[in-house]
A = this chain, B = another copy of it.
């Protein structure tokens, strides 16, 4: 608060608090988002961190003489009077009658794209991505990443409340966690090392320490194919929990996390949800179907001829999403008991039917967003399974310390943050929900 010429100015007020300053003089900082000159007055739209604020310039109440230098994307402090009025829905809206505008900084050039319309119109995705530091200034574009913040925040908050410990596993690894060809190799002072594909082996190790752990961090996959669903660097949200009774404990924990996330978005990210017309799912209970039952359902009910009896193709996932919606009014469905051959070496086989595993995928509106399951915790069983998979247990000495020196029954899952953001917002390309995507053709900006 300061006093100038006898007038009290409430400095650096936030727009969301305007209701507390009705008819009072405030100052607020932000970008000049848009200037619309009308007859006898102008609208000056100020862009702040999360909102746009309508300010009105008119000679009768503005001390200020319009500065020639003022332009869009200038950073300013606007001083003026807060004025409330009711819109046609009876909701009170506030605007600012401009008394003065102080220029804090000026752009050197005009923007290369129009960002101050409702959305970026007719701009190719590759241009949007090339110009990310600028294209994200569009309120709808940046709202995508507030939603993304909310998803990760909800995941974390829920798990912290449930006694999980946040871990930070190393991204420079001495061995490719799950093997395979799609690892990035790195020269590390003459040694060949790898970028982490997943925190899998570390998070399992740490179940022996903290019982329940989670991590939200980048992972790296040297995917050679360029699809709309895959990235070469993405954010993996992982958790692993010990002392489970069975693998449904993991599914229940995920259900709880998703409910918490969706509720957080509806409350603390309501403006962004509205701006993006995001359809936030209602979650009560998530239905479950066994992998083989799902295959049969696809063949009988949907007359689908599967090309692979060990996994689902995207069309099958979409049909299962449809099934979940029509039968259970659910946007989600768990598919359990995937074939052993398709799951990694640490997955626990179903003791009642070892061809299948105590594992699951979660489909959200017909797209797989999670893989998870119970892990082998017995040392001898894990070594045996590794050998069966053609692996050398000696290369996994650190990992196997967990099992050798005592592991509780445990399991966990992984969830791709960008993919979930994409699908929640109805995008077809994961790059739209990634600030700075990396793929086989793109490594900048």
What residues make up the interface of A, taking CB atoms closer than 8 Å to B?
A: 14, 29-31, 48-50, 73-75, 104-109, 111-112, 131-134, 136-137, 142, 145-146, 149, 152-153, 160, 163, 165-175, 184-189, 191, 193, 195, 202, 205-206, 208-212, 217-218, 220, 222, 224, 232-233, 235, 242-243, 377-380, 398, 401-409, 417, 435-436, 438, 440, 443-445
Nearest B residue to A441 via CB reads B189
30 contacting pairs across A/B (C-beta < 8 A) = A14-B163, A31-B406, A75-B243, A75-B409, A105-B377, A105-B409, A106-B406, A107-B406, A108-B378, A108-B380, A108-B403, A108-B405, A109-B405, A133-B205, A133-B206, A136-B206, A142-B209, A145-B167, A149-B165, A168-B435, A169-B436, A170-B218, A170-B233, A171-B220, A172-B232, A172-B233, A172-B443, A188-B443, A189-B440, A218-B218
Contacts of A202 in B (CB 8 A): 436
Contact for A235 among B168, B185, B398, B409, CB less than 8 A = B168
Contact for A188 among B136, B184, B212, B217, CB less than 8 A = B184
Contacts of A149 in B (CB 8 A): 165-166
Q: Are A243 and B401 in contact (CB under 8 A)?
A: no
Q: Are A408 and B104 in contact (CB under 8 A)?
A: yes
Contact for A209 among B137, B191, B377, B443, CB less than 8 A = B137
Contacts of A165 in B (CB 8 A): 49, 145-146, 149
Given known contacts A153-B166, A184-B188, A233-B171, A407 and B105 CB-to-CB distance under 8 angstroms:
yes
Q: Are B404 and A108 in contact (CB under 8 A)?
A: yes
Interface centre among A74, A112, A133, A212 (most CB of B within 10 A): A133
Q: Are B243 and A211 in contact (CB under 8 A)?
A: no
Contacts of A74 in B (CB 8 A): 406
Q: Are A167 and B49 in contact (CB under 8 A)?
A: no
Contact for A105 among B107, B131, B211, B408, CB less than 8 A = B408
**Cα–Cα, bound, A198→B235 (Å):** 17
**Cα–Cα, bound, A101→B243 (Å):** 14
Q: Are B444 and A174 in contact (CB under 8 A)?
A: yes
Contact for A185 among B187, B224, B232, CB less than 8 A = B187
Contacts of A112 in B (CB 8 A): 405
A226 to chain B, nearest CB (A): 11
A108 to chain B, nearest CB (A): 4
**Cα–Cα, bound, A211→B30 (Å):** 8
Given known contacts A137-B209, A408-B75, A218 and B168 CB-to-CB distance under 8 angstroms:
yes
A221 to chain B, nearest CB (A): 11
Q: Are B210 and A409 in contact (CB under 8 A)?
A: no
